[in-house]
Amino acid sequence: MDVSTRNGIDSFLKIRNVSALAMSIMLFLLLLPGVAFATYAYDYGRTSDLSYADDCVGYANSCWSTLGHNYSSYLGSNYTRSRVLTNLQYGDAFYADTHGSSSGFLDNGSGFISFSDVSTNRYGNWYKLVFVDACDTGDNNSGASSFGITDSDGQSHTYVGWSGYSYDNITYAGFTMRFFDKVKTHNSIAYSLWYAGYASGIYNYRSYGNTNWSY
């Protein structure tokens, strides 16, 4: 066998080996859709003492459905601390209408999900849009950081929370509903927030990360 023929066979074998490796990687990723192709959303609503949680979760679900996300929503007694911590392993969209603080938020009862819990249980950094619709969850960047979202990371993802109090009334619920309506029609997150604030007269929302992107 001459040198040129041998070199040609060697090159072919190298290409075939690389192709086989690439195919193996693709098959592995397909077996882990939550990790590789995160298109899952989770919504939570505290209905034990909030009147508009069901409505707001409904608007979030409509948004995810329109955008092609698979999604699960948990209302009332189905919204538990343990379920949130389990679901945090996968997903790229998160919404919760509940009570909160600058260090975390409540489930439907007295279970407290700290932002430290979120950091510990979250798997990966692919959360694209997070809205913790609860008092004080936007006071600082703790919530955003717990979901792997920072202002300087250069990625297209956003965390939204409230600075100070938010209220269980139609005005604040209207903000949330308008926000999701604009997001689902492919407006930028920045515009969706601005419009929701403009239409409702509510401006104490806070966002972290990048808002100049759209679905």
pLDDT at residue 193 above 60?
yes
Can you tell me the distance from the alpha carbon of 106 to that of 98, in angstroms, rounded to the nearest whole number? 6
Q: Is residue 214 part of a domain?
A: no
Per-residue pLDDT reduced to its tens digit, 95-141: 999 999 999 999 999 999 999 999 999 987 779 999 999 999 999 99
Q: Output phi, psi for 131, to 5 deg.
A: -130, 105
Residue linked to tokens 């202002």? 151
For 83-95, how does the pLDDT look when each residue is reduced to its tens digit (9 = 90+)?
A: 999 999 888 899 9
Q: Say if 157 falls within a structural domain.
A: yes
Residue 77 lies in a domain: yes
Q: Do residue 113 and residue 168 come from a single domain?
A: yes
What is the share, in percent, of the chain residues with pLDDT greater than 70?
Answer: 82
pTM of the model: 0.83
Residues 118 and 26 grouped into a single domain: no
Q: Are 183 and 63 in contact (CB under 8 A)?
A: yes
Asked if residue 106 belongs to a domain, the reply is yes
Give how many domains the chain has, as a whole number. 2
Higher-confidence residue: 2 or 194? 194
Tell me the CA distances in angstroms from 116 to 11, 16, 87, 138, one per residue in order.
51, 46, 15, 15
CA distance 38 to 122: 13
Same structural domain, 43 and 84: yes
Would you say 123 and 146 are in contact if contact means Cβ atoms under 8 Å apart?
no
| Three-class SS state of 94 | strand
Asked if residue 116 is part of any domain, the answer here is yes
59 and 119 belong to one structural domain: yes
In a shared domain, residues 97 and 2: no
Residues 97, 124 share a domain: yes
Q: Which domain holds residue 192?
A: 33-209
Is residue 66 located within the same domain as residue 149? yes
Instruction: Please check whether residues 100 and 123 belong to one and the same domain.
Output: yes
Q: In this structure, what CATH number is given to the domain that contains residue 63?
A: 3.40.50.1460
